[in-house]
C-alpha cells in the first residue's frame, strides 16, 4: 500500500540511506533529525526518497520515516529551521522521552521559539542551536574541529561516523551554505584557486584517484594544513602534491584542485 503522502520528516536521530532496498545494501548517506524528504517510490518496507535540502536520493526503511500530510508539510514550512551546533544534544518529545541528536540536526521553531516537528512539541536547549549566522572561515573551521577524532564511516554524517564529503557538507550547512553530498559534486562549486600557495583558510582541497576522478575532500586551515576525514577526522599536512600522513610521513591523497566557497 502506498504511503498517504509524498513527503516525510525524520523524528529519530539518524536514518540511513542505502543504494538498494535491502538491509545489506551499501549506506550512501544519512538523514538527520528534522530533515524533510520527498517520497519518490514505495515498495514493501522500502521507500525511495530524496533529501529536500540537497537532492540526494536513496532507499530508507519506511518504519524510520514519519509521514507528513499535505497540511502538515505546509505547516512545517511556516516554521524557522535552526541547527544543532554542538557535537551532541538531548531534546525531549511530548512524552518527555529523550532523543539524542548530533551536530547539524534541524529543529523547527515557531514565533514563540517552540520546537514543532510534525506538530509535536519538543523541549530543547537554545544554547545548543545556531540560526545560520553569516559564513566565515573561522566559523566553518570551528565547526569542523568539533569532529576531531570522529571515526570515518562511508556514508556517515554524524559525530559517531562521518565521511569526507559528509563532514564538509555538515559544517558548511551550519553556516547556511548548502553544498552537494558527494566530493565530486562539491568540486563543481565555488571558484578555482590556481595553486596551494594561493589557498587560504576555509578553502576546499579536492583529491583524485589514479584515474583522475575526485574521490576526497577536506577543508584547509591554511596553505599547509588540512582537516579531513580519513580513518578519523584529523589535521594533517598538505602541499602541492597532496596530503601527508601524520603517522607515516607518506602521501595518502593526490591533490587535484582547490575551490573557494566563501
Distance CA 17, CA 15 (A): 7
Q: Which ranges constitute the DSSP H helices of the chain?
A: 70-77, 137-145, 164-173, 183-186
Mean pLDDT, range 231-254, rounded to an integer: 98
CB-based burial label for 249 (10 Å; 0-12, 13-18, 19+): exposed
Between 39-43, 130-134, 139-143, 198-202, the lowest mean confidence (pLDDT) is in 130-134
Residue 103 has a pLDDT of 98
Residue 1 has a pLDDT of 35
Residues 32 and 9: beta-carbon distance below 8 Å: no
Segments of 33-154 assigned E as strands: 36-43, 46-51, 57-61, 66-68, 80-84, 88-92, 98-102, 106-109, 115-117, 120-122, 129-130
Give CATH 2.30.30.40 domain extents, the chain: 1-131
Distance CA 34, CA 93 (A): 13
Residues 44 and 73: beta-carbon distance below 8 Å: no
Copy the grid coordinates of residue 159: 559525530
Backbone torsions φ then ψ of 49, nearest 5 degrees: -130, 160
pLDDT: is 151 or 1 the higher one? 151
Mean pLDDT, range 188-214, rounded to an integer: 97
Residue 4 has a pLDDT of 52
Mean pLDDT, range 136-163, rounded to an integer: 97
Give CATH 3.90.1720.10 domain extents, the chain: 137-260
> For residue range 76-95, what is the model confidence (pLDDT) as tens digits?
999 999 999 999 999 999 99
Residue 246 has a pLDDT of 95
pTM to 2 decimals?
0.95
Task: Name 238's bridge partners.
Answer: 243
Mean pLDDT, range 32-43, rounded to an integer: 96
Distance CA 120, CA 132 (A): 23
Q: If DSSP codes are grouped into helix, strand and coil, which group holds residue 189?
A: coil
Q: Residue 63 has what DSSP assignment?
A: G
Which architecture characterizes domain 1-131 according to CATH?
Answer: Roll (2.30)
Query: Does 2 have pLDDT greater than 50?
Result: no
- The DSSP string of 136-185 is -HHHHHHHHHTTTTPBB-TT-EETTEE-HHHHHHHHHHTTT----SSHHH
Q: Which CATH superfamily is domain 137-260 in?
A: endopeptidase domain like (from Nostoc punctiforme) (3.90.1720.10)
Distance CA 62, CA 227 (A): 35
Name the region of 253 (left: φ>0; alpha: ψ -120 to 50; beta: rest). Answer: beta
Residue 135 has a pLDDT of 86
> For residue range 4-33, what is the model confidence (pLDDT) as tens digits?
579 999 999 999 999 999 999 999 999 999
Residue 132 has a pLDDT of 79
pLDDT, averaged across the chain = 96
Amino acid at each position: 500500500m502506498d504511503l498517504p503522502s509524498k513527503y516525510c520528516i525524520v523524528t529519530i536521530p539518524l536514518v540511513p540511506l542505502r543504494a538498494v532496498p535491502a538491509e545489506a545494501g551499501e549506506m550512501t548517506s544519512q538523514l538527520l533529525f528534522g530533515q524533510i524528504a520527498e517520497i519518490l517510490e514505495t515498495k514493501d518496507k522500502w521507500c525511495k526518497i530524496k533529501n529536500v535540502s540537497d537532492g540526494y536520493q536513496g532507499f530508507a526503511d519506511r518504519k524510520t520515516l514519519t509521514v507528513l500530510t499535505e497540511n502538515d508539510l505546509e505547516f512545517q514550512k511556516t516554521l524557522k529551521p535552526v541547527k544543532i551546533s554542538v557535537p551532541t544534544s538531548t531534546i525531549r518529545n511530548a512524552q518527555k522521552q529523550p532523543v539524542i541528536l548530533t551536530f547539524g540536526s534541524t529543529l523547527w521553531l515557531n514565533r514563540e521559539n517552540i520546537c514543532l516537528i510534525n506538530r509535536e512539541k519538543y523541549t530543547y536547549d537554545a544554547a545548543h542551536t545556531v540560526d545560520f549566522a553569516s559564513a566565515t572561515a573561522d566559523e566553518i573551521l570551528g565547526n569542523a574541529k568539533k569532529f576531531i577524532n570522529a571515526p570515518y564511516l562511508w556514508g556517515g554524517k554524524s559525530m559517531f561516523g562521518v565521511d569526507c564529503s559528509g563532514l564538509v557538507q555538515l559544517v558548511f550547512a551550519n553556516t547556511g551554505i548548502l553544498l552537494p553530498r558527494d566530493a565530486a559534486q562539491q568540486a563543481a562549486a565555488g571558484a578555482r584557486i590556481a595553486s596551494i600557495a594561493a589557498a587560504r583558510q576555509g578553502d576546499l582541497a579536492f583529491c583524485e584517484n589514479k584515474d583522475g576522478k575526485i574521490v576526497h575532500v577536506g577543508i584547509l586551515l591554511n596553505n599547509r594544513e588540512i582537516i579531513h576525514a580519513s580513518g578519523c577526522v584529523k589535521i594533517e599536512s598538505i602541499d602541492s602534491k597532496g596530503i601527508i600522513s601524520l603517522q607515516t610521513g607518506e602521501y595518502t591523497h593526490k591533490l587535484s584542485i582547490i575551490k573557494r566557497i566563501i
